[in-house]
Structure 1
Amino acid sequence: MEDVLKDFSRIKLATINAKEVPEIAGYLMAFTVPVLVLYFDGKEVLREARIVHLEKFQENIRKIHESI
């Protein structure tokens, strides 16, 4: 994931293991893994789950990053 975000210095990466923090799944309504969620100003702006096409995810991030 670090490779996908290398061009977006303003985006911070955090990884949470749902097995270690089971309440996070309910809080994020993440009932499958993996789940990639991007927040801006405390609001969810992008979510990808289960099968994540990294090139498409990166392009979606690029569009969001350019618009803010």
Structure 2
Amino acid sequence: MVLADKDDKAISRGVDTCGIFSRFPDDEPKQIDQTNQRWSSPTHPEGHGLATAEKILDLAHKHICPDF
């Protein structure tokens, strides 16, 4: 896979992560769990763990969808 494809996939997943805020308002544990599931990969089929998912969620909130 070309780096640009990976970047596009990451951006797409980041934008998709923003929807988690509206689907699960006021339920941070569910938001983190859903982020962990969304950011799975063949080498991490169960996700990257809740700590990493929480960081991803925070970054998406800060840089992609700050209004949530």
Fold similarity call, TM over 0.5: no
Larger Rg belongs to: 1
More helix by share: 2
- Higher relative strand content: 1
TM-score (norm 2): 0.30
